[in-house]
Structure 1
């Protein structure tokens, strides 16, 4: 089953990896931060070896985005980054795992202090999201 893990973050201050810029993460002892980073790198390596990690990207500065909406019968654009939220989408990982249990197991390891992580199944052709 394919899922996307969406990394949401507050854009102030801006930077990647997002945890390095969040007050909650920076408040941890350096040794704990280093262990968390090493554990995360190990997780990514294991997922790559198992063929579960299909890809992922950090997204650019949200201030450089453009929002498109439909208004008065036509598309209109405005400067981003917000679509009615204080947070923005900072990046994503595309995974292909055996089932929902594994997807939830993986996603919990992506969430760190001060971060919000969203796990969402991909929608398959025809609108069925139960692959």
Structure 2
């Protein structure tokens, strides 16, 4: 079963890993931040070695995006960002796991203070969950 882990984060200032730029995480004791980073790196190694990690990408600053909308019978492009919300899509991880529970285990390690992590099933072209 494939799932996408979407990382939503504050784009100001923009950088990766996102936790380094989030006030709630910057306020944590240094030892706790080191532990969280170590657990995250261990998880990345684990899912890479197990084959559960299919793909991952960090995304550039939302202000560098181009938005396409259909208008007057043709696509119209405008500069991004698309939304005016305080959180933007910062990146994603695509995992292929045996169960929803395993996907939840992985997604929980991605979560940290001040971040929003979204876990969503991937779908086949016919619209059915994989």
Query: Which residue in 2 is equivalent to 1:93?
Result: 93
In the alignment, structure 2 segments of 5+ residues that lack a partner are none
TM-score (normalizing by structure 2): 0.94
> For 1:1-131, what aligned pairs fall within 5 Å after superposition?
1-129=1-129, 131=130
Instruction: Encode CA deviations 1:109-131: one digit per residue, 9 max, x unaligned.
Output: 111110011111111132211x2
Instruction: Encode CA deviations 1:47-79: one digit per residue, 9 max, x unaligned.
Output: 112111112111112111111112233211111
CA-atom RMSD in angstroms: 1.2
In the alignment, structure 1 segments of 5+ residues that lack a partner are none
Tell me, in whole angstroms, the C-alpha distance in 1 between the residues paired with 2:101 and 2:11: 31
- Count of matched residue pairs: 130
Tell me, in whole angstroms, the C-alpha distance in 1 between the residues paired with 2:23 and 2:93: 23
